[in-house]
Structures are given as C-alpha cells and as structure tokens.
Amino acid sequence: MTATTELKNIINEENVVYKKTSVLLDNEMHYCPGCTHGVIHKAIAEVIDDMDIQEKTIGVSPVGCSVLAYNYLDIDWQQAAHGRAPALATATSRLMPEKYVFTYQGDGDLASIGCAEIMHACNRGESIVVFFVNNAIYGMTGGQMAPTTLEGQVTATSPYGRDCQTTGFPMRISEMLAMLPGTRFVTRESAETPGAVRKLKKAIRKGFENTRENKGISFIEIVGTCSSGWKLSPVKSNEWMKENMFPYYPLGTLKDE
Amino acid sequence: MAKFIGAIVVDTEKCKGCGLCVVACPTKVIELARDVNGKGYHYAHMANAAACIGCSSCGLVCPDTVITVYRTKAS
C-alpha cells in the first residue's frame, strides 16, 4: 500500500477524533496569528457543545479585540459599554435565571475602566461566569500600558519600561477578587499547551455548572499573549509569557467553595 | 511501531501560519509550508505524515480551529 492510499484510508468520517465544533461559526477570526483569544473562544464553544447548552447561553462581549466575539460563537450575545459587561450580565442573569450568562473581558476592559463593576458584581455574588483574558497590554488600541502590565515591560505608552514609582504596580485582579465573600470559584489558567487547554476547559465547565446553584460568581482568569502588542512571534510570545507572566501571575485555583 | 496512526487536514486558506501547532506536535509531524495561501501566510501542513499518531494536540492549540484530526488503529 502506498503512502497516499494509506492516508486516504485514514481520512474518512468515522476516524475523526477532533474537528471544529458546530458552536463555532465558519467566519474567519479577525485576530492576529497566534492570538490566545482564538483558543479561548474555541474552548468555551467546545464546553457549550459538550454541555448541550447552546440555546441557553448568553454571552456579554466587552470593548477591546474580543468585542467581535459575537461573530464567532453561535449563541445569544449582548455587547456592553467599556468595562460594564458585569453590570449587563447581572441584569440578564437576574431576569433570566434559567440561562447560562457569561462575560468575556480583557484586562484593559475589566482591570481598568471596569474595575468598579467587576468588584461589585463579585461582591454581590451574581450567578454568572466571568472570563478575564490577561495579556498585560491594551491590544486593540495599539499596545498601550494596561493596569496588568509588568514592571519594566515596554509598551507604546511606557517606551522605557513600566516605572512602578509613577504608574503603580501590576494588579493581581484574581487575588483581589478571591478575598470577596461573593466569589465562589476563582482560578487562573493559561492556553499555550494542549494540557493547559484541557485544564482550561475543565475550569470553564465548572464555572457554567456553578451558575446553576446561585452560590456566587465564577471568575476565570486566562493569562494570554498579544504577539502584535509585545512585538514577538506567536511562539516567542508563549515563551515570554512563561518566563515573565507566570512568576507574577501564578497559575492555579485560588478559591473553590 | 505505533499503535495508532493518524492524519490531519488543515484548512489552508484559513490558516494564519502562527506555528503554534508546530511546537505543540509531540512527533514533529507539522511544518509551515514554503508556499503561501491567498492571504500570504505560510500555512501548516503534514511534512512527516508517517509519524502522526492522531493525538489532537495541534487541534487543541490552534487559535483558528483550522485543523481536523483523524485517528485509527494501525493495521
């Protein structure tokens, strides 16, 4: 048997072990090559597919690169003003408690302008899931410094590296929120390796399941990359993230009640 | 000999050539092509098809979900 005929025998419907889930639409993503948003969108879509809750899920998209998330996931969506996604999700989940409501926010949205909204949503313990994508930079607007930018990190607005004397220190949002009594599940994940994606999917599933019990908010931080903003290749970005982000933003579950 | 044999099919027109699948592949099956697709990206392809075990690692880390993975028992 030649190599080509052997390949043809493998490639048929019954041997499929991994393919694009139907929850993800066929639209081509506008994200840069290697962007972590794509992996996170896919992980959320696969969990929604596994749990068979496509008809019952409502997402709230933020302002930032992921504002167009509604073009990629085939579920119901709302779009919030900058940083106000938790407020919109609060109203949605209170009016429709049978739905699975989640917000999807970046660090410029959640950690900066939306800091008050997320604090109070967590303090009230709303039955929602919050996905917080932390890539230490404002991606969409051209790579400016964010509250989560690391000390010494070069960005468009900190060309000599972030100086903590004048701009404050990088914020560890998950640690802050884990202290609030309203949070039920606070975890920090990543999505750079197959193992990390599998762990992330477990956390997403747990978050969605928690919303059924009205015992508090589930907060899932995902440490991601921004290869355009960091001016590195996608593979180098992952290496930079492992070297610099993980020591300051350690992965793992901070709270699980 | 490997117990499972696999194969991947890449949607080359949607691939952005980020190369994350190349480093995720445990058996070094995938490489970026010398050719480019319609958008000018060097798309991923199976350079060493015989080594594929169908583990789905490439599919899991692909940000654009362009990889379909097939797997069957070795005959």
Contact call for B60 and A31, based on CB within 8 A: no
Chain A segment 156-195 residues within 8 A of B by beta carbon are 191-194
Confidence at residue B1, expressed as pLDDT on a 0 to 100 scale = 58
The answer to whether residues B13 and B36 touch, using CB atoms and an 8 Å cutoff, is no
Nearest CA in chain B to A3: B50
- pLDDT single digits (tens) A176-193: 999 999 999 999 999 999
The proportion of chain A whose per-residue pLDDT surpasses 70, expressed as a percent, equals 99
Residue A114 has pLDDT above 70, yes or no: yes
Average the pLDDT over A145-155 and give the result. 94
- pLDDT single digits (tens) B10-45: 999 999 999 999 999 999 999 999 999 999 999 999
Chain B segment 7-26 residues within 8 A of A by beta carbon are 7, 9, 14, 16-20, 22-24
The structure tokens 């975890």 sit at A187
Nearest CA in chain B to A196: B61
Query: In angstroms, rounded to a whole number, what is the distance separating the alpha carbons of residues A158 and A168?
Result: 12
Residues paired with B31 in a beta bridge: B45
Contact call for A192 and B14, based on CB within 8 A: no
The answer to whether residues A177 and A186 touch, using CB atoms and an 8 Å cutoff, is yes
Confidence at residue B74, expressed as pLDDT on a 0 to 100 scale = 82
CB–CB contacts below 8 A, A to B: 99
The answer to whether residues B6 and B55 touch, using CB atoms and an 8 Å cutoff, is yes
ipTM: 0.93
CA distance A143 to chain B (A): 19
Contacts of B25 in chain A (CB under 8 A): none
Contacts of A35 in chain B (CB under 8 A): 63
Average the pLDDT over A21-29 and give the result. 93
Contacts of A227 in chain B (CB under 8 A): 18
Average the pLDDT over A55-62 and give the result. 95
Domains of chain A: 31-249 (3.40.50.970)
Contact call for B70 and A39, based on CB within 8 A: no
Confidence at residue A2, expressed as pLDDT on a 0 to 100 scale = 67
Partner A contacted by B38 (CB < 8 A): no
Residue B60 has pLDDT above 90, yes or no: yes
Query: In angstroms, rounded to a whole number, what is the distance separating the alpha carbons of residues B68 and A157?
Result: 41
Partner B contacted by A19 (CB < 8 A): yes
What mean pLDDT value characterizes chain A? 93
Confidence at residue A7, expressed as pLDDT on a 0 to 100 scale = 79
Q: Report the DSSP pairing between strands A57-61 and A76-79.
A: parallel
Residue A94 has pLDDT above 90, yes or no: yes
Residue (of A248, A228, A223, A187) closest to A39 by Cα position = A223
Partner B contacted by A34 (CB < 8 A): yes
Q: Which of B5, B56, B63 sits opposite A31 (nearest CB)?
A: B63
Residue ranges making up the domain that contains B48: 4-73
- pLDDT single digits (tens) A207-256: 999 999 988 899 999 999 999 999 999 999 999 999 999 999 999 999 99
The answer to whether residues A128 and A185 touch, using CB atoms and an 8 Å cutoff, is no
Average the pLDDT over A160-182 and give the result. 94
Q: What is the CATH number of the domain that holds B26?
A: 3.30.70.20
